[in-house]
Amino acid sequence: MTNTDNKKEFLAALPIFLITFFVMMLDGYDLQVIAIVLPKISEQWAIAPAEFGVAQSAAILGLGIGAAILGPLGDMYGRRKIILTTFTITLISVWLTAYTYDLTTLTLARFGTGLGLGAAVVNVSSLLAKHAPKKYMALTLTVAGCGIPVGGMLSGMLAPQITLNYGWPAAFWLSVGVSLLVLVLLFIWLPNDATKAESTQQATANNSKSRIQALELLGASYRKTTLSLWLLYIGNSFLLYTIVSWLPTLLTAEGWDLAKAGSMIGLFQTGGLVGSLVVASMMDKWGVRRSLMTSYIVAMTSFTLFLVDVEAFLWPVLITLIGAAISSVALTVNALSANVYPNHQLAAGIGFTIAAARLGAVAAPIIGAAMIAAQMHIGMFMGVLLLPAVVCVAALWILTSSTRTTSQV
């Protein structure tokens, strides 16, 4: 293919890339903003922060259900129709969040937010994979996925100031406004799908194939690989979502104001974005095992320094390093799966690993809430996270020691 052909493919895919990036960015913002405004909601409703664990998990649970149940409907009824419908569900749910008045309504609104986002993200990613230049597909999907940490960074930068000046509902109104603009772009830029009959036929074939592959992943040939890979990403998701769910609450309990506490989320997400790019480049030179082990050494060292009560002026540095280490592992699922599964199992391997990781993500805010209820200070809280980090290291070691491509990882 000539450079001219590559350029034409890139320009044709650009609108889909942009809407995918924007949807990912809203995903990152909407999932993060609740943790930042939680101290203010807690204060206004006179409810202890620890009582919000289920409400924080609701959006993550909705993401998993939306991706697993609503997402595949794009294959059957057309991705354009499903994206527009589910993104509208998210927009309405975020708008309703600003008018919630108790834990029940907040939990329902957060669940709706995740439900719509889960399905929308799956389908815009599928569209981008279909239309991206084949030569740069992996790079295109990776860069589009960076919209999630960018959204988290914007949440940490903007939400605290908006909340202090206009009240916590305004942090959600900002998301509604941006979502309306993105919805207009979706109407304009989303391409039409194949006919319903063609889509239904393809979906049936894919579903049948997925069931067979799921059984193979847990068969004798791949069981050890699959279970250790799942354990790695369950543990890493637990670490990631425990921190992003409760970091602002921990810092405000230490006497930090909301703006400063919220900015730490921005640092955490910035570290994640930079760390992911660094680790991706390291994997090409060092291999997966050495690169990810390095990430966990950085994370565990930082957790230990919190545990020994390091001076508070170093906390921003440690939070940034933890973000770089933990987030970089979360974004390596595609690369690591490619090293441990053969090509005919790769799609199923990635999909089921992401689904398994949701278990850790859903459990994180709830278990974190129990730690908050136990009145753990930030040092003890971070120290406890050493345990799942050790589990991740053990899972990574077993995985890379027992797979068919040990020499490559």
Is-above-0.85 flag for pTM?
A: no
- Please give the pLDDT value at position 273: 84
- Please give the pLDDT value at position 218: 72
Side-chain half-sphere CA neighbours of 290 within 13 A: 9
Q: Which residues of 233-258 are buried (b: 16+ CB within 10 A; e: fewer)?
A: bbbbbbbbbbbbbbbbbbbbbeebeb
In contact, 114 and 59? CB cutoff 8 Å:
yes
User: Which residue segments constitute the domains of the chain, with CATH numbers given?
Assistant: 1-193 (1.20.1250.20), 206-399 (1.20.1250.20)
- Please give the pLDDT value at position 213: 56
Burial class, 322, CB count within 10 angstroms (exposed 0-12 / middle 13-18 / buried 19+): buried
Q: Which residues of 4-25 are buried (b: 16+ CB within 10 A; e: fewer)?
A: eeeeebeeebeebbbbbbbbbb
- Please give the pLDDT value at position 407: 39
Compute how many other C-beta atoms are within 10 angstroms of the C-beta atom of residue 354.
18
User: What are the 10-residue block averages of pLDDT along the chain, 409 residues in total?
Assistant: 61 86 93 93 94 93 86 84 95 97 96 93 84 73 82 92 95 96 94 57 53 64 84 93 93 92 90 82 76 93 93 93 89 67 65 80 93 94 96 91 52
In contact, 294 and 384? CB cutoff 8 Å:
no
- Please give the pLDDT value at position 99: 96
Only one residue has tokens 């040092």, namely: 379
- Please give the pLDDT value at position 179: 96
- Please give the pLDDT value at position 404: 47
- Please give the pLDDT value at position 402: 64
Which two structure tokens, joined as six digits, stand for 81? 């129709």
Q: Spell out the residues 6+ positions from residue 154 whose beta carbon is closer than 8 angstroms to its own.
A: 25, 28, 29, 266
Report CA 311 to chain centroid distance, whole Å: 30
Helix and strand counts by DSSP (H, E) for the chain? 17, 0
The DSSP string of 314-383 is GHHHHHHHHHHHHHHHHTTHHHHHHHHS-HHHHHHHHHHHHHHHHHHHHHHHHHHHHHHHTT--HHHHHH
CA triplet 184, 186, 190: central angle to 5 degrees?
140
Task: State the alpha helices, DSSP H only, in 167-287.
Answer: 169-189, 196-217, 223-253, 258-286
What is the C-alpha to C-alpha distance for residues 20 and 244, in angstroms, rounded to an integer?
Answer: 23
Size of the chain in residues? 409
- Please give the pLDDT value at position 76: 81
What is the C-alpha to C-alpha distance for residues 62 and 59, in angstroms, rounded to an integer?
Answer: 5
What is the C-alpha to C-alpha distance for residues 373 and 367, in angstroms, rounded to an integer?
Answer: 10
- Please give the pLDDT value at position 36: 93
